[in-house]
Amino acid sequence: MNKKCDCKFKKVGKKVNLDLRLETLDLNCKTTWDLISSGNTKGCFQLESRLGQTMAKKLKPTNIEQLSALISILRPGCLEAYRDGKNVSNHYIDKKNGLETVDHYHDALKDILSTTYGEMIYQEQAMQIAQKIAGFNLQDADVLRKAIGKKKADLMAEVKKQFIDGAKKANIVNTEEAEEIFGWIEKSQRYSFNKSHAISYAMNAYLSAYVKAHFPSRFFVSYLKFAKDKIDPLQEIYELVSNCREMAIDVCNPNFKLLNKDFVLKDKCIYFGLTNIKGVGESVFKKLQDIKIDIEQASYLQILFIVLDNINKTAAKNMISVGCFDYFNVDRKQMLFDFDIITNLTKKEKEFVIMNIAGYDNISQCVEGVLTKVNARRRKSVESIFHSLKNPAYSLSDTISWIADTESQLLGISVSCSKIDECDLNFVNTDCRTLKDSKTSSKNIMIGIEIKDVNIIKTKRGANPGQEMAFVKVTDSTGSLDAVIFPEEFKTFKHLLSIDNTAVMKLEQSKKKDGMIIKKVWQV
């Protein structure tokens, strides 16, 4: 049993003096183990993948030994070695959780496999078995390890013969048992870890989980900064920000007044950086830094004429679209429209406006001022601009769906809202965060969501194999959730399961309490 978390941290001023040396780190922190066991391991070393999160939730490790094993059973060797219709990874989990009887193939292997519930998951175990029942010396055992890893058929044939012959000579197991044991060594040890490697990985995994458990906001800020180095940066940002929401951590739109290049923690909220906006790179950020203006005091018109007009149009529009200037309480579409207006003015006309900007309250006054200074040849063009200003061809009011789509495209996730927010959800009774935080036996779970991803597969077992089903990722303003929809329901509601669609779903908790099952889907 883990003791209640009593981790205490010394403060130096407003900063925490965090001692993360492994020799002084509390390895029995309940808060940390609870986080790992809940599967909330996004961003945690070796456990951040969907498989790692799922396996952590299933295994529920409570010490470094079990965490080391968890990291090892995520390797292909254990995942691909099947016995009785189940791989080594799931055999280990079920044995650890008391769902399967612990056996050791043979009594002779009990002392070698006792720490891993009778499963062969470390390279050292294979080497020790070869030594014990086949008389291998250390050099021979290492050759066995290398032969399995390199998958050389001729070398494997030689090693197998040596193993079987050695087993006959040692006479601890019979030939049939030796054949079976070697087969399991060969299968489970492909792409496997040695224990020292696994332990070191486990310590690093625990360390990252410890920081996430105790300092989640700082953890996410640091991790988000590395999202740009991932294969799919926008997807990485989406997953991390969703995880923030699930942990009730506020994430805010970029704010020009902060002039922060990357993610930053300010007033208990994580703010997107300016370079986290699609189309706003290092060069644009440098220009923004070099503009001589008091950002805190700058007016709406100064931002348009002095700031945004000095960077490329795409970057300027993208900054407006994701809410960098929301503090002016002007609709983003309105600001985009106003920006388009000023881009139609000449350089000299803009300079005139800037010189007299203190006397203007809005764009209309700016253009009117320009009209008093232009010659007859230019007047017609400026009058046309003024007419467009007074008679916009489209609505300049923001909509939830427009904001949500725009932020998703430019930031990786909609920060301000979710498209589901504009739907009638009177009969919805929960949200993603609540479902992840609690276990419910209710069969009337109703949730309003936006569909993020649909992974369609075909069944392999059951009465009618080959039927389509799907794993579905859904999201709302509180986080994201993974659910499964089985063949019968998938056939009925397939037409509603398209990415970006908004819907209401009726869910049920799976019997194993490890996921949600989609029972019905309604379009909203």
Cα within 13 Å of Cα(499), Cβ side: 8
Judging by beta carbons within 10 Å of its beta carbon (0-12, 13-18, 19+), is residue 395 exposed, middle or buried?
Answer: exposed
- Cα 288 from Cα 402, distance rounded (Å): 27
b or e along 1-37 (b: 16 or more beta carbons within 10 Å of the residue's beta carbon)?
eeeebeeeeeeeeeeeeeeeeeeebeeebbbbbbbbb
What distance, in Å, lies between the first and last C-alpha atoms of the chain? 47
Backbone angles phi, psi at 15, to 5 degrees: -100, 145
278 occurs within a structural domain: yes
Q: Does 351 share its domain with 462?
A: no
pLDDT average, residue stretch 300-318: 96
Q: Does 230 share its domain with 370?
A: yes
Q: Does 184 share its domain with 305?
A: no
Q: What angle do CA 438, 95, 189 make, to 5 degrees?
A: 115
Name every residue whose Cβ is closer than 8 Å to that of residue 385 and which is 6 or more positions away in sequence: 341, 344, 345, 367
Pairing status of strand 250-252 against strand 269-271: parallel
Does the pLDDT value for residue 441 go beyond 90?
Answer: no
- The percentage of residues in the chain with a pLDDT greater than 70, rounded to a whole number, is 94
Look up tokens 């009774």; give the residue.
429
396 occurs within a structural domain: no
Residue-level pLDDT at 451 = 93
Say how many domains are in the chain: 3
Does the pLDDT value for residue 160 go beyond 90?
Answer: no
| This prediction's pTM | 0.85
Q: Does 182 share its domain with 253?
A: no
Among 1-15, 16-30, 188-202, 336-350, the range scoring the smallest mean pLDDT is 1-15
Amino acid at position 225, single letter: K
Residue 504 bridge partners (DSSP)? 448, 522
Q: Does 119 share its domain with 178?
A: yes
Helix-helix angle 216-224:195-214, to 10 degrees: 110
pLDDT average, residue stretch 265-273: 95
Residue-level pLDDT at 1 = 35
Residue-level pLDDT at 17 = 62
DSSP 233-292: HHHHHHHHHHHHHHTT-EEE---GGG--SS-EEETTEEEPPGGGSTT--HHHHHHHHHS-
Residue-level pLDDT at 425 = 81
Domain residues for the domain of 467 are: 419-523
Does the pLDDT value for residue 13 go beyond 60?
Answer: no
Q: Does 180 share its domain with 276?
A: no
Q: Does 274 share its domain with 356?
A: yes
Among 66-75, 224-233, 247-256, the range scoring the smallest mean pLDDT is 224-233
Q: Does 375 share its domain with 446?
A: no
Which among 436, 458, 456 is positioned nearest to 447, based on CA atoms? 436
